Structure formats: C-alpha cells, structure tokens
Amino acid sequence: MRPPMKPLKPLDDALADLLGHATPLAGADTVTTFDADGRVLAQDCTSVLQVPPQDNSAMDGYAVRCADVAAVGVELPVSQRIAAGSAGEPLQPGTAARIFTGAPVPAGADAILMQEDCNALEDGRVRINAVPRPGQWIRRAGEDITRGAVVLQAGTRLTPAELGLAASIGMHQLQVARRPRVALFSTGDELVMPGDVPPAQMRPGAIYNSNRFFLRAMLLRLGCEVTDFGIVPDRRDTTIDALRQASNVHDLILTSGGVSVGEEDHIKPAVETLGTLDLWQIAMKPGKPFAYGQIPRDNGRAHFMGLPGNPVSSFLTFALLVRPFVLRLQGVHSVAPQTIAARADFTWAKADKRREFLRVRHNAAGGLDLFNNQSSGVLTSAAWGDGVVDNPAGQTIAAGDTVRFIAFSELLS
C-alpha cells in the first residue's frame, strides 16, 4: 500500500527553510577589480574622495565669468588653455579660458560656453555669440560620489557598472566572498552523455543527459566552482563512497533525478546513510519533488539538494530554490527575483492546485505569448521563452489579464 500523501509544501516555505540553512561561507578572496565581475562583495566600498574630484567642464569651449558676457557679441582675450589633466590658473577678469571636456574649471569662472557658440578670432580673442547662464556646462565636484559615501555595500553582486564605480574611487582590488564549491551528480540508468554514444546508436530507453549541461552552466554563472561527478553508478556502495568524498570538500552536493516518491535510486538511501535527508513535495508546477539534506564532516557539513529529473522541473527548481541558496552562501541579501506586471496575450483555462510557472515570451505588442507545450519534460519551452508567468494556484488566465512575469535574466544570471 502507498504511504499517505504528505501535504504539499508551499514554495515560499521551502525557500525560507533552505535560506535558514544558508549560512554565508567563511573566508573571502582578494581579487583585482578587473576580475571581480559576478563576484559578491565581502566589504563595503567607502569613498575617501569626491567624484568628480573638482568642478570640470562638460564641453569643449570657453570658461568665462558671466559678468563679463552681459550681451551677445562680446569679444574677450583668451588668457589660458586648459586641457583635461592640467590644472589651469585662476581666470583673470575680462578674459576667457580655452577649455576642454573634463578639464578643471578655473577659479573665478562660473560658466562654460560650448565652442559652437563662439568664434575664435584671427587676433587670438574669442567672440561669444550666446549669453551664458551661471553654472552652465559645469560638472560639479562630488556630483557623482561624495567623500565618505558607501558606494557599494557588502553583499552586492558585482556587475560591469559596479566594477567601474569601484575603480572610480581608486579601488584596484576587492574583497569578495569565496566561490561555493559544488559537486554535481546525475542519476538514472537511462542517461547517456552526449559524445559517448552517437544518436544513431542509442539503445531503446536511453536519453541524453541534458540536465547536467544547464545545471553546470547555471552554477558557473553564479560564481561556483563545479566538480562534475558525472552519472552516479547504479550501486549503493559506490554511491556512498562518491557522496562521502564529495562532502569532504564541497559546500553543496547537487543531484538531479531520483527524488520522486517511490523511486529506486541509490542517492536517497546513500545520503540517509551518511547524514539526513528531507523529501519535500513542493506545491509548484513543474517541479514537485525536491530533497534537502546535510552530510556531516569533521569541520561542519555539506548541504545536499536533490532536484527532480524532468528537465524543466530541474531547471525551475534550480532557478527558484538553488539559485537563491547559492547566492546567500556568498552573502547576497536580496535573493528574490524581481516580478513585474505584464499582459497575457493568451488564455490558460485549466487552473491547477499548484502554483504554476508558465514558460512565456514577450511579443512585439508588449504582451506575453505562451509556449504551446508546458510539459515538464519539454525543455524547448525554456529555450524558447524569455521568462515565466508566476501563476497562483487555482488561477485561470484570460487574454488581456495582468499576470506576474519573472524574466529569465532574473533567474539565470
């Protein structure tokens, strides 16, 4: 007789439980700012200077005192030339300074005229064809960053703009969280690695191991060091050995397949032999079965996560549960993907008991189209889509309805 069904676990509860176990990893790396893209800051970056360091010109042109240019057609001697990188002298009253973009505004000048509004005369003077407004075309000292400002906070996942920002306050190296070490296993006797057997020679029942490819890629994008243990051999003792070995040096052991109820895989009993394992039935679709466990070792424990084998289930449970966990291990505070309101240009007539994640794609009219096959085995839906609609349990969708959209850029980066 089958055991009674456990109640389904809400996805948010599962995530909260996981994050409760995700103590940020001890230890930080010092990397050059060049190499910090995608890493998570382990320090606040505080500016000891202001950016820009002084008032500077936003244009190629002339620096003047507005009081000297009361009307169009004034002609002024050019008393100095200030290029970017040089400092210049205070501006003598009744003169203009030739100035270039980024050059410091000389003391006494209170406006820049762009060169298009001026004529350089034969005798070295400049004729000014516009009346300047005080402050025009001057970029103010500190308008980007003030001295003492925390420009980037610990826990920030660095993107290219942030590398530039760190560099702009003089930081050539940064303290970042160490990379999580992740061991990746696949289970299932049906699995064959592409390259091992050509398509024409696949035996009946065999399929290629696709999960291993996207799981590895997603882990690498999240900054992990990945050890790929391949397809776990179908024997209890070798599985236990592999898991024990992996747990000694990895922060997380990730598997796909074999977490369905009643499944005869070896991973589940092997983890239970070495540590603890909880099997969850999560109220999400695709992606109901999920396992979390821990394998103790001398200096702590390795986390264990078992994903469902169906490719789209694997993909989405990774994106919605493993990704936030791995980010939190690196000290990221805000791990929830951004949800935005969007218009459904499709109907979804069959409400489900579980919260559903429908693969959709933006169309040129600004709405969302639905992929025509939402089966958990159809990985084409994830490649076709640019995100998912997060559809509450029991909810149908009519064309024109406002739905909650999560972009893949939020889930896969």
311 lies in the binding site for Mg ion (CB under 5 A): no
CB of 288 to Mg ion, least distance (A): 14
AA letter at 141: A
Burial class of residue 283 in the structure, from the number of CB atoms within 10 Å of its CB (0-12 exposed, 13-18 middle, 19+ buried): buried
Among 189, 228, 263, 369, the residue binding ligand AMP under the rule CB under 6 A is: 263
186 lies in the binding site for ligand AMP (CB under 6 A): yes
Q: Which is nearer to ligand AMP, 180 or 308 (CB)?
A: 308
Q: Which is nearer to ligand AMP, 178 or 288 (CB)?
A: 288
Among 132, 155, 258, 331, the residue binding ligand AMP under the rule CB under 6 A is: 258
Q: Which is nearer to ligand AMP, 256 or 381 (CB)?
A: 256
For residue 182 the two structure tokens come to 């992740």
Size of the site for ligand AMP (CB under 6 A): 18
Measured at the CA of 277, the angle between CA 272 and CA 279, to 5 degrees, comes to 125
Phi-psi region of 286 (alpha: psi -120 to 50; beta: other; left: phi over 0): beta
List CB contacts of 196: < 8 A, sequence separation 6 or more. none
188 lies in the binding site for Mg ion (CB under 5 A): yes
What secondary structure letter does DSSP report for 199? G
Token pair 């980066």 in the structure block, residue: 413
For residue 209 the two structure tokens come to 């191991």
Which of Mg ion, ligand AMP, none has residue 209 at its interface (CB below 5 to 8 Å by kind)?
Answer: ligand AMP
Q: Which is nearer to Mg ion, 180 or 188 (CB)?
A: 188
117 lies in the binding site for ligand AMP (CB under 6 A): no
Omega prior to 53 cis, within 30 of 0 = no
260 lies in the binding site for ligand AMP (CB under 6 A): yes
Run of H or E including 304: strand 300-307
Residues in region 132-161 near ligand AMP by CB under 6 A? none
Size of the site for Mg ion (CB under 5 A): 4
Which of ligand AMP, Mg ion, none has residue 211 at its interface (CB below 5 to 8 Å by kind)?
Answer: ligand AMP
286 lies in the binding site for ligand AMP (CB under 6 A): no
Q: Which is nearer to Mg ion, 177 or 191 (CB)?
A: 191
CB of 225 to ligand AMP, least distance (A): 21
310 lies in the binding site for ligand AMP (CB under 6 A): yes
| 3-class DSSP string for 27-89 | CEEEEEHHHCCCCEECCCEECCCCECCCCEECCCEEEECHHHCCCCCEEEEEEEEECCCCCCC
Among 106, 188, 324, 331, the residue binding ligand AMP under the rule CB under 6 A is: 188
Q: Give the whole-angstrom CA distance, residue 77 versus residue 9.
A: 79
Q: Give the whole-angstrom CA distance, residue 361 versus residue 276.
A: 40
191 lies in the binding site for ligand AMP (CB under 6 A): yes
Residues in region 254-273 near Mg ion by CB under 5 A? 257-258
331 lies in the binding site for ligand AMP (CB under 6 A): no
Piece of the chain touching ligand AMP by CB under 6 A; list 53-61, 67-75, 124-132, 308-316: 308-316
Q: Where are the beta strands (DSSP E) in 200-288?
A: 207-208, 225-231, 252-256, 276-281, 284-285
Q: Give the whole-angstrom CA distance, residue 176 versus residue 94.
A: 54
401 lies in the binding site for ligand AMP (CB under 6 A): no
Binding stretches for ligand AMP (CB under 6 A): 186, 188, 190-191, 207, 209-212, 256-258, 260, 263, 308-311
